C-alpha cells in the first residue's frame, strides 16, 4: 500500500483531477453530460397537487415543477424570461404558469403565451426551457438532457407493476454528494457494521453481522452485487440489481418478524454538489386488510422523517426507535454524512471488499471517456429477468 505522502505532487494532482471528474455535475462537465442522459426522479407525485408549483433543484440547476389543473405535471426552468425571477412563486392557470412579477405566462412546452403589459401578439418569439416528465408508481421523473429522452425503461421494475402489491414512496435530503450514497449501495460489508450500530433493528437482525463473501458483475442495467452470509447453517444470499447511474434495487426484511419482505428501489438524486435527494419506492405484497392498514400507517408515520433533521442527535448516538426504515436511514446518514459533504477520495485507502466501489468508478470513467471521444456509450437497459434478490440455500461450507 502506497503512503499518500510518498506520491509525487504531479501524480496527486492528476489523481485529484480524476476524482473531481466523478463529483462534477455542471452541464459542461463529463459527469454532468453523462448524468443528463438519464431520467431522474424529482418529486413524489402526491406532493404536487393540481394547480400548484414548486422549486426543484437538479444537478445544481433550478426548475419549476408544476401540475396543471388537468393533472398533467410540467417542468420548466425556474427563471422567468423577462426579469429572471423565480417562476414557481407565481400561479397555475389551467395548464400554464404565470409569473408573479409582471404576469408573463408560459405553457408546459415553455412557450410564452401572454405578456399583459406588452403589445398584444408580441409573445410568440419568447420561450423558456421545458423538459419532459414521466410519472411512474407515484414518482415524478424528469429528463433534463439534450435532445429526445431515452425510453422510460431503466427505472422500471416488474415487481412495482404487479397487481396485488402496495407501493410506498418516501424521500429524504441529505447534505452530502450523491456518489457517497451510490458507493454505499455497492458496499455490502457496511451492513454488517453500520446497521448493527447504535441499535439493531429488523434489518440488522435479518442480514446479521457475518462478513459476506462478495461478487460483482456488470449487467445490462448496472451492477449485480451478491453478498453471501452464513446464517444458522445456511447460506443467505442477498443480491442487488444496482441500476445505473445511482439506483439501488434490493429487498429488505419486513417491519416485524413474519412480515413479508419488502422490495425496494432507491435513487440517489444529485441536487447539487453537497445535497442528495434519496427517493425510495417500496413494494410489499398486499395480504389482509388489517396487515395492509398497519403497513399503510407505518409508512405514513415514516413519511416526514428525514435523518438530516436529527443530525446532532444521530451524531451523538441517539437513534430512532423505529425498527426499520427510520433506523436504517439514520445509520446510513451517520456514515455517509460523516465522510464530509464531498468525501476526500484521494486520502482513502480501499481494500478488496471495496471492489464494488472500484467497479462503479471504473464504469463511470469509462462512460465519461466514451462521451468525450464520441465512442459508443453503453445503452443501459432494464433486465428482463430480475434475479432473485434474496434466498437461503443449504450452506456449502
Ligand atoms: S419577471 Fe416574470 S413577468 Fe417580469
Ligand atoms: Fe445501509
Give per-residue pLDDT as tens, 28-47. Answer: 999 999 999 999 999 999 99
Pocket test for ligand 1, best of 83, 98, 110, 127 (most atoms within 8 A of CB): 83
Specify the pLDDT at position 246: 98
CA–CA dist 136, 25 (Å, integer) = 25
Q: Is the dihedral of CA 112, 116, 121, 126 positive or negative?
A: negative
CA–CA dist 136, 161 (Å, integer) = 9
Q: Which ligand is nearest to the CA of 191?
A: 2
CA of 335 to the centre of ligand 2 (A): 9
Say whether pLDDT at 252 is over 50: yes
CB-side neighbour CA atoms (13 Å) of 222: 27
Say whether pLDDT at 93 is over 70: yes
Pocket test for ligand 1, best of 53, 104, 116 (most atoms within 8 A of CB): 104
Specify the pLDDT at position 144: 98
Say whether pLDDT at 222 is over 60: yes
DSSP states along 262-325: EEEEEEEEEEETTEEEEEEEEEEE---HHHHHHHHHHHHHHTT--GGGGHHHHHTT---S-SSH
DSSP states along 311-369: HHHHHTT---S-SSHHHHHHHHHHHHHTT-SS--GGG----GGGHHHHHHHHHHHHHHH
Shortest-distance atom of ligand 1 to CA 115: 3
Give per-residue pLDDT as tens, 168-212. Answer: 999 999 999 999 999 999 999 999 999 998 888 888 888 888 999
Give per-residue pLDDT as tens, 253-266. Answer: 888 878 888 999 99
Shortest-distance atom of ligand 1 to CA 87: 2
Neighbours of ion ligand 2 (CB under 5 A): 332
Average pLDDT of the segment spanning 226-243: 92
Say whether pLDDT at 119 is over 70: yes
If pLDDT is split at 50, 70 and 90, which confidence band does 1 have?
Answer: very low
CA–CA dist 25, 21 (Å, integer) = 9
For residues 308 and 172, the answer to whether their CB atoms sit within 8 Å is yes
* Number of residues written out for the chain: 397
Say whether pLDDT at 129 is over 60: yes
Shortest-distance atom of ligand 1 to CA 103: 3
Give per-residue pLDDT as tens, 338-377. Answer: 999 999 999 999 999 999 999 999 999 999 999 999 998 9
CB-side neighbour CA atoms (13 Å) of 365: 11
CA of 202 to the centre of ligand 2 (A): 13
CA of 367 to the centre of ligand 1 (A): 40
CA of 356 to the centre of ligand 2 (A): 14
Percent residues over pLDDT 70 in the chain: 97
CB-side neighbour CA atoms (13 Å) of 292: 10
Give per-residue pLDDT as tens, 305-324. Answer: 999 999 999 999 999 999 99
Which of 17-20's residues contact partners 24+ apart within 8 Å by CB, and which partners?
Answer: 18/365, 19/345, 19/346
Give per-residue pLDDT as tens, 132-145. Answer: 999 999 999 999 99
Q: CA separation (Å) from 9 to 2, 17, 58, 103? A: 14, 12, 34, 56
Shortest-distance atom of ligand 1 to CA 90: 2
Give per-residue pLDDT as tens, 269-296. Answer: 999 999 999 999 999 999 999 999 999 9
Q: Which ligand is nearest to the CA of 193?
A: 2
Dmax (CA) for the chain in angstroms is 82
From the number of C-beta atoms within 10 Å of its C-beta (0-12, 13-18, 19+), residue 207 rates as buried
Among candidate residues 327, 78, 292, 66, the one with its CA nearest the CA of residue 201: 327
Pocket test for ligand 1, best of 80, 115, 116 (most atoms within 8 A of CB): 80
Pocket test for ligand 1, best of 102, 117, 123, 126 (most atoms within 8 A of CB): 102
Supply the residue whose CA is at minimum distance from atom 1 of ligand 1: 83
Torsion angle (degrees, nearest 10) of CA 50, 52, 58, 61:
140
Domains of the chain by start residue, with CATH? 4-31 (no CATH), 40-142 (2.102.10.10), 158-394 (3.90.380)
CA angle 181, 185, 54 (to 5 degrees): 40
Q: Which ligand is nearest to the CA of 204?
A: 2
Distance of CA 6 to the CA centre of its chain: 37
Give per-residue pLDDT as tens, 33-90. Answer: 999 999 999 999 999 999 999 999 999 999 999 999 999 999 999 999 999 999 999 9
Say whether pLDDT at 3 is over 70: no
Supply the residue whose CA is at minimum distance from atom 3 of ligand 1: 102
Among candidate residues 260, 245, 280, 197, the one with its CA nearest the CA of residue 390: 260
Shortest-distance atom of ligand 1 to CA 83: 1
Q: What is the mean pLDDT of the chain?
A: 94
CA of 98 to the centre of ligand 1 (A): 9
Q: What's the whole-model pTM score?
A: 0.95
Amino acid at each position: 500500500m502506497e503512503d499518500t505522502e510518498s506520491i509525487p505532487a504531479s501524480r496527486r494532482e492528476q489523481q485529484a483531477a480524476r476524482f473531481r471528474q466523478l463529483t462534477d455535475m455542471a452541464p459542461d462537465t463529463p459527469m454532468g453530460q453523462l448524468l443528463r442522459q438519464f431520467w431522474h426522479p424529482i418529486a413524489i407525485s402526491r406532493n404536487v397537487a393540481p394547480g400548484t408549483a414548486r422549486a426543484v433543484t437538479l444537478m445544481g440547476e433550478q426548475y419549476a415543477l408544476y401540475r396543471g389543473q388537468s393533472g398533467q405535471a410540467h417542468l420548466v426552468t425556474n427563471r422567468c424570461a423577462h426579469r429572471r425571477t423565480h417562476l414557481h412563486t407565481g400561479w397555475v392557470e389551467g395548464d400554464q404558469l404565470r409569473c408573479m412579477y409582471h404576469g408573463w405566462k408560459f405553457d408546459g412546452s415553455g412557450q410564452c403565451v401572454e405578456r399583459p403589459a406588452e403589445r398584444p401578439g408580441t409573445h410568440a418569439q419568447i420561450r423558456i426551457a421545458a423538459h419532459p416528465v414521466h410519472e411512474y408508481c407515484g414518482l415524478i421523473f424528469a429528463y433534463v438532457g439534450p435532445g429526445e429522452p431515452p425510453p422510460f425503461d431503466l427505472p422500471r421494475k416488474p415487481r412495482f407493476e404487479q397487481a396485488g402489491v402496495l407501493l410506498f414512496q418516501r424521500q429524504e435530503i441529505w447534505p452530502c454528494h450523491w456518489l457517497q450514497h451510490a458507493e454505499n449501495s455497492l458496499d455490502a460489508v457496511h451492513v454488517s457494521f453500520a446497521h448493527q450500530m447504535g441499535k439493531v433493528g429488523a434489518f440488522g437482525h435479518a442480514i446479521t453481522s457475518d462478513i459476506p463473501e462478495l461478487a460483482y458483475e456488470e449487467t445490462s442495467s448496472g451492477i449485480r452485487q451478491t453478498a453471501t452470509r452464513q446464517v444458522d447453517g445456511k447460506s443467505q444470499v442477498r443480491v442487488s440489481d444496482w441500476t445505473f447511474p445511482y439506483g439501488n434495487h434490493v429487498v429488505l426484511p419486513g417491519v416485524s418478524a413474519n412480515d413479508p419482505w419488502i422490495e425496494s428501489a432507491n435513487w440517489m438524486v444529485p441536487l447539487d454538489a453537497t445535497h442528495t435527494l434519496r427517493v425510495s419506492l417500496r413494494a410489499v405484497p398486499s395480504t389482509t386488510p388489517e396487515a395492509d392498514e398497519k403497513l399503510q400507517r407505518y409508512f405514513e408515520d415514516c413519511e416526514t422523517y428525514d435523518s438530516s433533521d436529527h443530525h446532532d442527535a444521530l451524531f451523538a448516538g441517539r437513534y430512532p426507535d423505529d425498527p426499520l426504515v427510520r433506523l436504517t436511514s439514520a445509520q446510513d446518514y451517520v456514515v455517509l454524512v460523516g465522510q464530509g459533504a464531498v468525501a476526500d477520495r484521494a486520502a482513502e485507502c480501499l481494500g478488496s471488499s471495496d471492489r464494488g466501489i472500484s467497479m462503479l468508478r471504473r464504469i463511470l470513467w469509462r462512460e465519461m471517456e466514451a462521451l468525450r471521444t464520441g465512442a459508443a456509450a453503453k445503452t443501459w437497459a432494464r433486465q428482463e429477468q430480475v434475479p432473485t434478490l434474496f434466498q437461503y440455500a443449504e450452506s456449502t461450507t
